[in-house]
Amino acid sequence: MKRIETERLILRPLTVADAEEVFLWAGDPVVNRYMPYPVHQSVEQTKQWLSTLGDKDEFGFCLKETGQVIGSGSIKYVEEYDAYELGYNLNRAFWGKGYATEAAKAMLQWAYEQRNARKFMARHVTKNTSSGNVIRKCGFQFSHYGQYSRYDGSETFDATYYTMQMK
């Protein structure tokens, strides 16, 4: 089983049993404001999404002390960029406490060790400066400005792109 332990978190695969905690951010329009996926309308929708994850490199971020799932993230190879893309999402009750950076750094190290990843990329909506702070704290360097759209094409965002090489 994929499992990463940090100072305050355990990163592990998400399961359908996590649906109610995941819905707390997946169904929150404030958290979803700049995300590519549509805001979840029900716990059932979250269960459906969780059932599709299978063996993808997607992790739930769980508080070590309580086991509560407070966010999720992924580190996946994207052929278009020939790099592993970092992504993350966090229940807003836990914003500003360093959890996203802690989890992101752990996923990057995991991909380096377990997937032999050396090239990484990340992007965020330019207006979402907090996400940019997380990316830069992980060691990424600015690459370029661009755009990305929601999966359903309903909205396109101005975005800032970053890259990182690990030897």
pLDDT in tens, 36-63: 888 999 999 999 999 998 778 889 999 9
Dist CA 164 CA 8 (whole Å): 25
**Residue 115 near residue 57 (C-beta atoms within 8 A):** yes
Write down the pLDDT at residue 53: 87
**Residue 11 near residue 106 (C-beta atoms within 8 A):** yes
Which residues of the chain fall below pLDDT 70? 1
> What separation in angstroms does the CA of 113 have from each of 5, 62, 67?
14, 21, 25
Write down the pLDDT at residue 2: 87
Dist CA 117 CA 77 (whole Å): 9
CATH 3.40.630.30 correct for 4-165:
yes
Comparing CA positions, the residue from 163, 69, 71 lying closest to residue 118 is 163
> What separation in angstroms does the CA of 79 have from each of 82, 93, 120, 159, 167?
5, 34, 12, 19, 20
> What separation in angstroms does the CA of 22 have from each of 27, 49, 136?
8, 10, 26
Write down the pLDDT at residue 1: 62
Determine the Cα angle at 123 with ends 61 and 57, to 5°: 40
pTM recorded for the entire structure: 0.93
Comparing CA positions, the residue from 85, 61, 54 lying closest to residue 12 is 61
Residue 36 has, within 13 A of its CA and on its CB side, a CA count of 10
